[in-house]
Structure 1
Amino acid sequence: MPKGNEWLQSEFVAELKELAFALWDKGWGERNAGNISARLNPQQMDEWGVADMPATQWYDLPKPVPELAGQSMLMTASGAFMRHVRENPERDLGLVRFSADGAQFSPIAGYAGAGRPSSEMITHLLVHAERQDKGQSVIVHTHADWLLLMSHLHDQTSEAFTKTLWRMCSESLMFFPDGIGVVPWMLPGSLEIGEASGELAKTHRLILWAYHGVLAAGDSLDDAFGLIETADKAAMVYCQGRMAGTTLPGITDDQIKMLGKHLGVTPIYSL
């Protein structure tokens, strides 16, 4: 294997490849939909033999992200098909380094064939900037079917959307007591949607982009994926109830309070 490509054989990349395929297999990753990123720690960079890889060309970010200054990140490529990541990781994945002031990035490995990081890179960076001190280093964005449909059927305020998901099944409060932040429709890949997502990431690990998809921050690939699975299951119950001609009452406010006390979690919104 060429020097500097050892990272492609890492356990983390193996897990990421399987996750990318799972996103497609669930029907969430149509064509080149979705993207994944992970902040890398110095130990990973050393183990992968890329800590000293040179930055050969710098590109300006739409907005400086000083919180990530000097850090490195693994990110899927712009245009990558999730179903092909495990077959072509050297093309569909890459490593980037951020400048000392957080205003620029440089690809240092991967992205074979003149590829570039995801077009939604700025959103990932602004969410990472808010979540890195809260223990989350992985971000997964995908087009989860039921959450997407629910954004067409439901009040798009974060509080109302969250409470409905909590009411649909007990696991919702268990895994996202911090709720789901909802961004109204904005231009995909824009700084505007990135800034709105970063603002919501101050309090939420799950962020829904109306009529588009969902983004989750996790402390591992499985954690981020599991958050989306849980929220999408609750959205499915809600949507199927609507399709049956009813609005399901679900778990009551008092029951949610009881559940929170039992689980030792505090719901972000009062009930």
Structure 2
Amino acid sequence: MKSILDNRPALAAEINKVAEVAGYLWQKGWAERNGGNITVNITEHVDDDIRAMAPISEVKAIGTTLPHLKGCYFYCKGTNMRMRDLARWPMDNGSVIRILDDCASYVIIADKPVAPTSELPSHLSVHNYLIAKGSPYKASVHTHPIELVAITHTDKFLKKDVASRLLWSMIPETKAFCPRGLGIIPYKLPSSVELADATIKELEEYDVVMWEKHGVFAVDCDVMAAFDQIDVLNKSCLIYIAARNMGFEPDGMSDEQMDEMRVAFNLPK
């Protein structure tokens, strides 16, 4: 069967990155069953032939109007699809969608009529926000990192920037590679409008936000960079938990040491 990826190396490379990240999420135990979602804005890789493709689905309502997405194209993980399967067969477990001119509906154009994630309105709302603010970010990743989710089961880490400060202090690379830290969103119903709105608000300050007792949502220039930020934060969390399991509260880097890092790497305060 002919694929939209055939003879389009740049587009294929982006989708292959999604497949690679999906494999990592499964291997780490962060994507149980059909858990997690990935959505990537692929508009820059769309040519005239793709724009001329007939839809392979009926018109589907997004559920909200997103004016900055007019004419955009996205690769989306399919609803009820498993990350471990997407890693092997990305175009059987996800699809390419076109946002229609009304900015409130979409059609699937390739490769198969795989219905996108049920959280599509939330993901697209984030992408609408990113385009509106002129962000270069194209990818959004939602997953369930075990240790990061675990620390949200106590109020200690739910106060603003407490978790960020702790995680930055565990290993220098965390401040360097996730300089904006970790935003915290109190528990809200998964897939709800309230959760989507809260996520967009937190993304004004953070690139990675933590949904209490649920998972993380990260944005970045591509799917690999978004994964890297989650991976770095969870490594710091693992270091903290390892120290606690050895029977002590880790000292962490001092404020002076982290400020030295900030200056050396030209990082934001």
Offset, 1:230: 0.3
Query: 2:126 is matched with which residue?
Result: 127
Query: 2:183 is matched with which residue?
Result: 181
Given that residues 146 and 236 in structure 1 are in contact (C-alpha distance below 8 angstroms), is that contact kept between their aligned partners in structure 2? yes
Distance change in 2, residues 1:77/1:63 (3 Å): same
Corresponding residue SS for 1:79? coil
RMSD of aligned alpha carbons: 2.1
Unaligned 5+ segments in structure 1 are none
Offset, 1:63: 2.2
Query: 1:198 is matched with which residue?
Result: 200
Given that residues 35 and 82 in structure 2 are in contact (C-alpha distance below 8 angstroms), is that contact kept between their aligned partners in structure 1? yes
- When structure 1 is superposed on structure 2, of 21-30 and 4-13 the one drifting more is 4-13
Query: 2:138 is matched with which residue?
Result: 137
Alignment size in residue pairs: 263
Query: 2:210 is matched with which residue?
Result: 208
CA distance in 1, matches of 2:111, 2:193: 25
Q: Which residue type is aligned with residue 255 of structure 1?
A: Q
Corresponding residue SS for 1:187? coil
CA distance in 1, matches of 2:142, 2:116: 14
CA distance in 2, matches of 1:136, 1:72: 14
Summarize the alignment of residues 114-263 of structure 1 with structure 2, pairs less than 5 Å apart. 115-132=114-131, 133-153=134-154, 154-263=156-265
CA distance in 1, matches of 2:41, 2:160: 27
Given that residues 3 and 110 in structure 2 are in contact (C-alpha distance below 8 angstroms), is that contact kept between their aligned partners in structure 1? no
Given that residues 4 and 110 in structure 2 are in contact (C-alpha distance below 8 angstroms), is that contact kept between their aligned partners in structure 1? yes
Given that residues 62 and 122 in structure 1 are in contact (C-alpha distance below 8 angstroms), is that contact kept between their aligned partners in structure 2? yes
Offset, 1:245: 4.2
CA distance in 2, matches of 1:253, 1:34: 35
CA distance in 1, matches of 2:183, 2:102: 29
Decide which of 4, 17, 28 is 1:15's aligned counterpart: 17
Listed one character per residue, the Cα deviations across residues 245-266 of structure 1 (whole Å, up to 9, x for unaligned) are: 4332211112211110111111
Corresponding residue SS for 1:158? coil
CA distance in 1, matches of 2:64, 2:160: 26
Corresponding residue SS for 2:47? helix
Q: TM-score, normalised by structure 1?
A: 0.89
Listed one character per residue, the Cα deviations across residues 141-163 of structure 1 (whole Å, up to 9, x for unaligned) are: 11111111111144213321211
Offset, 1:60: 2.0
Query: 1:69 is matched with which residue?
Result: 70
Given that residues 5 and 12 in structure 2 are in contact (C-alpha distance below 8 angstroms), is that contact kept between their aligned partners in structure 1? no
Offset, 1:110: 3.1
CA distance in 1, matches of 2:168, 2:87: 34
- When structure 1 is superposed on structure 2, of 80-89 and 53-62 the one drifting more is 53-62
Query: 1:50 is matched with which residue?
Result: 50
Distance change in 2, residues 1:255/1:86 (3 Å): closer
Percent identity, please. 26
